[in-house]
A and B are shown apart, each in its own frame.
Chain A
């Protein structure tokens, strides 16, 4: 193990972690406002990858330039998922908002199963993995430089940092952000102060789903598209959100990057080769440890349980 190898593994870890972070932001935003773990979020990420796949394939057949394809794919997937996220909240969660928390949680699982199984239908997407057009893959996945970094790695790091920056700016410097903080601080009081809570909650779903779509497209280019791709990746992103402190925006970024690095270091450096297959369990060990030692996460605030 040379220093070069170590740096290379760290770079892989950051690149993977950046997509965890993008999805974790969606979990964190929804949890921050509704105190709901939106289990359908991983499947929204999958839908983003699928929409991007259809757009990319359609354009590749017509010989569109790669930069234009990427632009349309990211924009189209983000738009589609924002609409989907809005719809899920409007039609599945909003009617149940005043019911016990458990009802919402089970509904979230229901929405998740609905999306997974709908997309396994042959005329929607089908159960077999598909790949993005070769033009996109070969443009983004060629190693550049000495560290084995690909353009996609650079892009995913850059995109996630930029989007976290954008979100932080919205939260801290805009009126919507102020309202968002108020809603997350105390829902009922925010309503009394004249904040349109429905609009704020819709915003968190629209924005979070758009971020998930970006992560979906990135990972679909890097790996593949299939209807169940959101289950494990979504769970890990959720763990990243808990690790960073659920409800905290910088926490989601930190948790995501950290989880990505831990996983790749386990696989590439720390675990003996016969056991690298168990690196996927690391996220769950982390979840158990964080819940035992610091349930509020690394950057989360310890909240008193209101009775």
Chain B
């Protein structure tokens, strides 16, 4: 009897130590954020983090949620997917956060989402567009959500946009290291070919490629009307200048991975197009409130799409906690799934059955150090 009691006690202690329950008692609600504050795509993490912090400040200034202040623990994953796994594990297990917000890059959201699924902790990605982030083998991941559109939609719109520009022959360049780039390439290729366009070249590169001249001169030999590059801004900053060097002067276009203050500053990027989540020129009051608040907090800089999505992600989670009535992981998960017509700065957010948001896409054109609104496509 005594021995049994001892074993039982030991078991209780072990269970207690092994799965730490969210420490959400007390006067605050603790949330986790993981972002690429450093590394190759640091611009993504820094922008989404700034947006998130702005929203957090506003929410806490209005008294927080459920009468408690929100505290966000931020972890840097250094733009590295395996580091993303480590920091999300730390947030979920050691810090016992009620919900996790992150990441921008699909590869890292896939990695962090795996951890959140395992420990049944809700995760909201602000900006990952690869379809597999929320759906795996046709099955919806119960704990992972996003507040942006998917690449299935983005690729289709990019294809449609290309055809509407009158481009018949398009060359593509894909980063074979990134789920984002591969997914977007696939859906673009299908949409563009289905609409009667011809893909004349499908070049590829890796995240470590610095010299693209070989690929670009092969593309030049094919005489395309335009080149589609669904890559990230740091790669675009290398590809566009090198394209001019090999004498390739046709228009370039791409997806939301281009979005960064770095891209619009490139002289070689002038005239290029990319699809994105929002335009700061949008006159809607939610957008203008956000743009002004962001400029006031961050020294007059104009927010990019990752900033607006970070801002909305924080507010959607706060809204879900309010509707759940308690900072409990399962309750927040259920409330997130029922998010409907949330007035986000990046558009009205309704989470659908596949845990995605159906939102419009804007096409921006880079002009004189800024991205100007060129066209808007409604959600499908």
Contact = CB atoms under 8 A, between A and B. Distances in A.
Nearest to B215: A276
Contact of A150 (B43, B210, B217, B245): B245
A127 B234 CA distance: 11
B246 A148 contact: yes
A268 B204 contact: no
A129 B204 contact: no
Given A277-B174, A277-B204, A12 B214 contact: yes
Nearest to A127: B42
Chain B binding site: helix, strand, loop or mixed by DSSP?
Answer: mixed
Contact of B214 (A9, A120, A128, A228): A9
A131 B218 CA distance: 26
Contacts of B217: 5, 8-9, 148, 268
B208 A280 contact: yes
Contacts of A16: 211
Contacts of B209: 277, 279-280
Nearest to B245: A141
Contacts of B202: 273-274
Contacts of B238: 223-224
Given A273-B218, A276-B215, A127 B204 contact: no
B69 to A, nearest CB: 27
A14 B34 CA distance: 41
Nearest to A126: B42
A150 B234 CA distance: 23
Contacts of A126: 42
A126 B211 CA distance: 23
Nearest to B266: A131
A143 interface: yes
Contacts of B175: 277
A219 interface: yes
A275 interface: yes
Interface in A43-67: none
DSSP class of A's interface residues: helix, strand, loop or mixed? helix
Contact of A268 (B174, B210, B218, B245): B218
A276 B204 contact: yes
Given A5-B221, A8-B217, A268-B214, A277 B177 contact: yes
B272 interface: no
B223 interface: no
A169 to B, nearest CB: 31
A226 to B, nearest CB: 8
B176 interface: yes
Given A277-B175, A277-B204, A280-B208, A129 B214 contact: no
B203 A273 contact: yes
Contacts of A228: 39-40
A127 B39 contact: yes
B245 A129 contact: no
A158 interface: no
A148 B247 CA distance: 8
B241 interface: yes
Contacts of A131: 237, 266
Nearest to B212: A267
A137 interface: yes
Contacts of B234: 129, 224, 226
Contacts of A268: 213-215, 217-218
A264 B246 CA distance: 14
Interface in A147-198: 148, 150
A111 to B, nearest CB: 18
Given A223-B210, A232-B208, A273-B203, A128 B262 contact: yes
A61 to B, nearest CB: 15
Given A128-B262, A150-B245, A274-B202, A233 B214 contact: no
6 contacts: A5-B221, A12-B211, A126-B42, A268-B218, A273-B204, A276-B215
Given A12-B211, A219-B210, 11 more contacts: A9-B214, A16-B211, A148-B247, A223-B210, A224-B234, A267-B214, A268-B217, A273-B203, A276-B205, A277-B206, A280-B206
**Pairs of residues from A and B, 3 with the lowest C-beta to C-beta distance, nearest first:** A268-B214, A127-B42, A277-B204
